[in-house]
């Protein structure tokens, strides 16, 4: 009897990935005006005392010299001087007789320039721009978010605007010369029920919390919370324990970590900088993964999961915006909201929010939740399998919906801590099913991409599809940002 004929496995279609000539490099001239904190209040008072001792005839020439040196690098520099004076004037006794010029000069001594991207400009995420007007047919305007790293290895979020032209040529517009931080929205409202649930998740409960919450309405402001904390401490003064003080600090930190900031419409998108501003973010806002999330009405809200780093602990947090002017910062709670690399699906699945995550530092999990703030359970989805990813794998941004399934770019770490970008495919209806996976990397560092702040790394925080082509912005050795393109059909055909 003859043996059955051998069935040859069809060969995997080759992938023709193309690197573009577009490279965004860190620019040390892009400086942000930041408060200069001398640390010790006594030292601040001594500095102000020395400025106050200057003869009045010296004040104006000194102010003119400072203004002339910095007015072309920052908008309304004197307005910034005066605002900073208002913040430090508490170290002065009696300010009624100080000249306007001296106030401005005092403010200038407590400001400093921070070079936002002096070390690196990398780990980009790309989404459709909310304004697609005025473009030729077949073109797409996009927003690129980037991780900018400067002095002290502090990371923040900066933006660029670009266009994918009808011939698939990628253009990123040159940023303007000015940088601006948003102002914090002073009377942002907190929902009592949501805030109370977050307190319970954090274990901040007990008599102190109950007394505090009874003084608050269904919604409240930060000032109202501050007043309620003060009142509660007075009411419980005779019985206030060390635990109560700890709970009070925790409540205040939670409120400070859930806040809103507002940019002005006249500020170009490339001028807007989201700089760390809470204790949990003290050492950086890292690797924001933006996604255009479509609700049940098909309206788009942009969410970005990011890593907040305080110097020792990393926690995942969430940004929300509809217009890139008003941003809400949201803490993520629950036992599954931990570690780096959370990325949201762009719509609900089965009526629930869905998220990819990496709770164990080395493999990818899938999570669902009825409430975007709380993540309680995770299910293992994908483990390291191939030589180039045996150290760890993780997502490289939010899943992208295609007719074939959810396309997820992944990163893998292999020998010599070499980072490569791969891809896998999840079932559209049931994303717990992996229906395809690249055996070899889609993108790995070449000889021109190996050297940088962290060698041998390519990494992205989000890609998009335009006219059948996958557009991948990616970080080069944790230093700069490049772009690569590849046909979606080739990626899907190469999966096993």
Which CATH number covers residue 352?
2.115.10.20
Final residue belonging to a domain, choices 109, 143, 161: 109
The pLDDT value recorded for residue 74 is 93
pLDDT at 83: 95
- Determine the pLDDT at residue 311: 80
d(CA 251, CA 109): 34
- In this predicted structure, the answer to whether residue 50 has a pLDDT above a threshold of 70 is yes
* Residues 354, 410 within the same domain: yes
The model's pLDDT over 408-440, given as tens digits with 9 standing for 90+, comes to 999 999 999 999 999 999 999 999 999 999 999
Model confidence at 120: pLDDT above 90: yes
Which residues 6+ apart lie within 8 Å of 134 measured at CB? none
The number of distinct structural domains making up the chain is: 3
Mark whether 192 and 175 lie in a shared domain: no
Record the pTM.
Answer: 0.92
Residue 441: pLDDT band by 50, 70, 90 thresholds?
Answer: very high
Matching residue, tokens 């009592």: 192
**Residues 487, 359: one domain?**
yes
pLDDT at 95: 63
Closest among 406, 358, 397 to 381, alpha carbons compared: 358
139-186 per-position pLDDT tens digit: 999 999 999 999 999 999 999 999 999 999 999 999 987 999 999 998
Q: Residue 94's pLDDT band (boundaries 50, 70, 90)?
A: low
Residue 7's pLDDT band, with cuts at 50, 70 and 90, is very low
Average pLDDT taken over every residue of the chain:
94
Split at pLDDT 50, 70, 90, the class of 12 is: low
* Separation in Å, CA 35 to CA 32, 253, 331, 492: 10, 21, 26, 50
Model confidence over 371-408: pLDDT tens digits? 999 999 999 999 999 999 999 999 999 999 999 999 99
Same domain? 273 vs 297: yes
In a domain, 5, yes or no: no
Question: Which one, of 75, 87, 85, lies nearest residue 109 by Cα?
Answer: 85
Domain boundary among the residues 257, 291, 317 is at: 257
Instruction: Please report the pLDDT score of residue 387 as a whole number.
Output: 98
In this structure, the answer to whether residues 54 and 130 fall within a common structural domain is no
Residue 165 lies in a domain: yes
Looking at residue 9, what is its pLDDT?
42
Considering the domain architecture, whether residues 206 and 78 belong to the same structural domain is answered as no
| Residue 2 placed within a domain | no
Residue located via tokens 């000539």: 21
Last residue of a domain, one of 50, 82, 109: 109
% of the chain residues with pLDDT over 70 = 97
Q: Which range of residues forms the domain containing residue 244?
A: 184-257
pLDDT of residue 28: 95
193 and 341 housed in the same domain? no
Domain contains 116: no
Q: What is the mean pLDDT of residues 95-100?
A: 83
pLDDT attached to residue 6: 41
Q: List pLDDT tens digits, range 334-358.
A: 999 988 889 999 999 999 999 999 9
Report the pLDDT averaged over residues 16-26. 97
Tell me whether residue 301 is in a domain: yes
- 42 within domain boundaries: yes
Q: How confident is the model at residue 11 (pLDDT cuts 50, 70, 90)?
A: low
Rounded alpha-carbon distances, angstroms, from residue 306 to 35, 209, 286, 343, 362: 24, 29, 6, 9, 18
269 and 340 fall within a common domain = yes
Whether residue 1 is contained in a domain is answered as: no
Residues 374, 387 within the same domain: yes
Interatomic CA distance for residues 196 and 199, integer angstroms: 5
Using the predicted structure, report yes or no on whether residue 1 has a pLDDT greater than 70: no
Residue 309 and residue 216 share a domain = no
Asked if the structure places residue 115 within a domain, the reply is no
pLDDT of res. 91: 74
Lowest mean pLDDT among 32-36, 103-107, 276-280, 492-496: 276-280
Q: Are residues 340 and 469 in the same domain?
A: yes
Residues 202 and 338 in one domain: no
């Amino acid at each position: 009897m003859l043996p059955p004929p051998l069935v040859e496995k069809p060969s995997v279609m080759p992938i023709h990935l193309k690197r573009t000539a577009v490279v965004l490099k860190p620019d040390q001239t892009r400086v942000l005006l930041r408060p200069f904190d001398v640390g010790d209040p006594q030292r601040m008072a001594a500095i102000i005392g020395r400025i106050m001792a200057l003869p009045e005839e010296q004040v104006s020439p000194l102010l003119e010299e400072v203004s002339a040196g910095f007015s072309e690098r920052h908008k309304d520099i004197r307005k910034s001087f005066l605002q900073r004076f208002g913040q430090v004037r508490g170290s002065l006794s009696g300010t009624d007789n100080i000249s306007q010029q001296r106030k401005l000069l005092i403010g200038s001594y407590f400001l400093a320039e921070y070079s936002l991207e002096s070390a690196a400009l990398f780990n980009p995420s790309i989404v459709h721009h909310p304004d697609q007007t005025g473009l030729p047919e077949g073109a797409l305007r996009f927003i690129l978010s980037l991780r900018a790293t400067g002095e002290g290895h502090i990371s923040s979020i900066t933006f660029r605007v670009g266009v994918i032209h009808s011939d698939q040529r990628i253009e990123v517009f040159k940023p303007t010369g000015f940088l601006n931080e948003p102002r914090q929205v002073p009377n942002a409202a907190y929902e009592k029920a949501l805030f109370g649930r977050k307190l319970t998740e954090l274990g901040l409960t007990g008599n102190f919390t109950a007394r505090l919450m009874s003084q608050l309405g269904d919604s409240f402001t930060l000032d109202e919370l501050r007043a309620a904390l003060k009142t509660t401490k007075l009411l419980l003064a005779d019985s206030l324990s060390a635990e109560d003080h700890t709970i009070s600090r925790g409540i205040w930190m939670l409120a400070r970590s859930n806040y809103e900031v507002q940019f002005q419409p006249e500020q170009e998108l490339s001028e807007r900088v989201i700089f760390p501003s809470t204790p949990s973010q003290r050492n950086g806002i890292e690797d924001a993964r933006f996604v255009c999330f479509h609700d049940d009405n098909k309206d788009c809200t942009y969410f970005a999961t990011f890593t907040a780093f305080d110097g020792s602990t990393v926690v995942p947090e969430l940004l929300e915006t509809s217009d890139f002017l008003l941003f809400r910062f949201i803490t993520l709670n629950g036992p599954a909201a931990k570690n780096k690399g959370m990325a949201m699906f762009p719509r609900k699945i089965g009526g629930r929010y869905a998220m990819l995550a990496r709770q164990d530092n080395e493999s990818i999990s899938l999570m669902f939740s009825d409430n975007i703030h709380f993540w309680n359970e995770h299910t293992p989805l994908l483990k390291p399998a191939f030589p180039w990813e045996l150290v760890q794998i993780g997502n490289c941004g939010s899943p992208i919906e295609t007719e074939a399934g959810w396309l997820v770019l992944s990163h893998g770490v292999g020998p010599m801590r070499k980072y490569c970008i791969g891809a896998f495919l999840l079932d559209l209806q049931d994303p717990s099913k992996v229906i395809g996976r690249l055996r070899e990397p889609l993108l790995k560092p070449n000889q021109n991409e190996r050297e940088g702040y962290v060698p041998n790394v390519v990494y992205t925080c989000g890609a998009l599809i335009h006219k059948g082509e996958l557009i991948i912005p990616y970080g080069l050795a944790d230093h700069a940002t490049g772009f690569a393109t590849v046909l979606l059909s080739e990626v899907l055909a190469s999966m096993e």
